[in-house]
Structure 1
Amino acid sequence: MELALCYFYTATINNFQHLLADDILKMVIISSLQYFVQKKLITRYGFVIMPNHIHLLWYIHQQNGKESVAESLAKYIAHQFRKHLLHTHKLELFQSDKDDRQHQFRKRDPLAIPISSESIFISKLEYIHNNPIRPHWKLCTYPEEYRWSSARFYLEGKDEFNMLTHFRA
């Protein structure tokens, strides 16, 4: 991903396992993103954390040292997931057969689509917000009811996690 661009970003849990059904692991993602927002590395416009994937709409201002924000995020989250799963005795579910790692939590090569217009941005934001109410998931009745999304922020102005910027601000 290039700097100074807005992206629709999707990272998926390896083998589509529902690792992110665990609220503790959702908070690992939230706190990581809060850190990047506070350090002014990113502006976060939208998100949803689903049981087996995340979607983000973010603008990347700068790298995190020598690493991209996405790389730093993935590494930190993997480390925290490993620590948590070690205590819950579920770490073996994520054993890797690759030589360069013991465990793999997400699929390689996350999707990163540059946003080239406001209409595409709005389309992706609506997609993100409607994800939890899709028939496949049925995580809530209305998008704003789902805690792990930016839908409530756009409908009611409430930013529970204090890390969002309205795209029209």
Structure 2
Amino acid sequence: MKEGYIIRDQSKAHFITATVVDWVDVFTRQIYCDVIIDCLDYCIKNKGMVLFGYVIMSNHIHMIVQSEKDQLSDLVRDFKKFTAKNILSKIQTEPESRREWMLERFALATKTHNRNKNYQFWQYGNHAEEIYSHKFMWSKLDYIHLNPIRSGIVRKSSEYKYSSASNYSEEIDSVLPVTLISNPVVDVLQPSTILKYIK
């Protein structure tokens, strides 16, 4: 992991990226996306996760998260460990035409180290970037929400199911609640209590 991407302040919100080994397109199936959504929902309700934004793409996810318990590294580690275990289980037990190929890729990834015994699902590292201002928060939210448009999946960001864009647009029902941040372009002069999360 590069020195610049270490989570130094465990109390601050961070932009996090989790990437599947070999960029395998796992999240083209709803069953695996739902594991991510269910785990995020659990972490919000039970582990002190504050989730400001997210997107699940075909082979990686982006999130802006914070730990209410000032234990962000532990929270992200546990999230990745749980989702990896459950997705791998579903690959092995649910109908999956790519099963053998996928498991071969995940098994091969363990050969370069001794941290995983059978399979490695997530790449190591989170490319963590500390959210140091309201403006930077929104630049990362925009980046997250534009991902499905840049990939040609949808024409409007709020139409993408597995993203917090729908939460911010309020046009379409979202699959997961997030902590909303006020848009600085709209109400830059109004104080927002949510700013306590990024100070």
The verdict on a shared fold, with TM-score over 0.5 as the criterion, is yes
| Aligned-residue offset at 1:163 | 2.5
Q: Does 1:68 align with 2:74?
A: yes
* Higher normalized helix content (fraction of residues): 2
| Contact 1:6/1:115, CA 8 A, preserved across alignment | yes
2:104 to 88, 92, 97: 92
1:167 to 174, 177, 181: 181
Identity %: 29
Looking at structure 2, the residues matched to 21 and 120 of structure 1 have their Cα atoms a distance apart, in angstroms, of 30
Looking at structure 2, the residues matched to 166 and 158 of structure 1 have their Cα atoms a distance apart, in angstroms, of 15
Structure 2 length as normaliser, TM-score? Answer: 0.77
The gaps in structure 1 that reach 5 residues or longer are none
1:26-37 correspondence runs (5 A): 26-37=33-44
Looking at structure 2, the residues matched to 143 and 158 of structure 1 have their Cα atoms a distance apart, in angstroms, of 11
Looking at structure 1, the residues matched to 43 and 166 of structure 2 have their Cα atoms a distance apart, in angstroms, of 21
* Higher normalized strand content (fraction of residues): 1
The structure that has the greater radius of gyration is: 2
Aligned residue pairs total 165
1:129-148 correspondence runs (5 A): 129-134=145-150, 137-148=151-162
| Aligned-residue offset at 1:157 | 6.1
Looking at structure 2, the residues matched to 85 and 162 of structure 1 have their Cα atoms a distance apart, in angstroms, of 23
Match of 2:21 in 1: 14
| Contact 1:3/1:61, CA 8 A, preserved across alignment | no
| Contact 1:48/1:56, CA 8 A, preserved across alignment | yes
Amino acid at match of 1:68: D
RMSD of aligned alpha carbons: 1.8
Match of 1:120 in 2: 136
Amino acid at match of 1:45: F
| Aligned-residue offset at 1:162 | 3.9
| Contact 1:33/1:163, CA 8 A, preserved across alignment | no
| Aligned-residue offset at 1:115 | 0.3
